[in-house]
């Protein structure tokens, strides 16, 4: 009686299985490479957008402080929210101060000291606490220095007003007004430099 052979099952042979496995391994490797490329491209896009977002957010913070503290301070000092927009030169600024101080120097000085200067003090603290990008450190330092100059100039100006009462004299007060003017001008320049740098970084 002839020995029976085990039945042959249909399907791929061992050699075919090996080829399929090799082919599948190649497909997996190719898929891994594609995934890595996609992730790399995504990471590059994220980092590129991240820098723009970081500068944009920093710019919004600086401009928010400008609106909330700087403009509020001058609106308070000029007793009007619109006059600051008309101040273009040092002479414009001196004229606005002279008008108010000559009408009631002691009361005017006390009002600025008690109601307005705290806004600048808070702004100076907030500016000092900022963590700017490396290429904005100098501009932010200049911004903080200018705010300090304005505060110092105003403190001296108010002391002069307290001392002289109704005998306000433009020429005598000028040495203190000049300090305010310098701080005002330095702030405008530093603030513009910050915004110019931010616009460059975010592509506007």
10 versus 135: which is more confidently predicted?
135
Q: What does the pLDDT read at residue 105?
A: 83
Its CATH class, for the domain covering 61-202, is mainly alpha
Show me where the domains of the chain are located: 61-202
Take residue 174 and report the two structure tokens written for it. Answer: 């000028």
pLDDT tens digit sequence for 63-85 = 999 999 999 999 999 988 789 99
For residue 145, CA distances in Å to 56, 187, 191, 199 come to 23, 8, 12, 23
Residue 137 reports pLDDT greater than 90: yes
How buried is residue 161: exposed, middle or buried, by Cβ count under 10 Å (0-12/13-18/19+)? Answer: buried
**What is the predicted pLDDT for the residue at 103?**
84
Task: Indicate if the pLDDT at residue 6 is higher than 90.
Answer: no
84-122, pLDDT tens digit by residue? Answer: 999 999 999 999 999 999 888 899 999 999 999 999 999
For residue range 13-58, what is the model confidence (pLDDT) as tens digits?
Answer: 445 444 544 555 554 444 443 333 433 333 333 334 577 889 999 9
């Amino acid at each position: 009686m002839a020995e029976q052979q085990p039945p042959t099952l249909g399907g791929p042979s061992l050699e075919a299985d090996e080829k399929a496995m090799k082919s599948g391994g190649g497909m997996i490797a190719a898929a891994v490479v594609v995934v890595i490329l996609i992730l790399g491209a995504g990471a590059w896009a994220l980092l590129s957008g991240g820098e723009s977002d970081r500068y944009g957010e920093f710019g919004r913070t600086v401009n928010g402080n400008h609106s909330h503290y700087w403009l509020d301070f001058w609106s308070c000092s000029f007793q009007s929210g619109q006059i600051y927009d008309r101040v273009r030169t040092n002479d414009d600024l001196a004229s606005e101060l002279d008008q108010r101080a000559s009408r009631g120097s002691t009361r005017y000085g006390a009002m600025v000291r008690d109601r307005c200067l705290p806004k600048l003090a808070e702004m100076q603290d907030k500016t000092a606490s900022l963590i700017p990008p490396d290429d904005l450190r100098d501009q932010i330092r200049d911004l903080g220095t200018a705010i300090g100059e304005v505060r110092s100039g105003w403190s001296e100006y108010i002391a002069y007003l307290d001392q002289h009462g109704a005998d306000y004299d433009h020429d005598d007060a000028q040495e203190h007004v000049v300090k305010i003017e310098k701080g005002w001008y330095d702030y405008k320049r530093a603030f513009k430099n910050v915004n110019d740098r931010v616009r460059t970084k975010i592509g506007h």
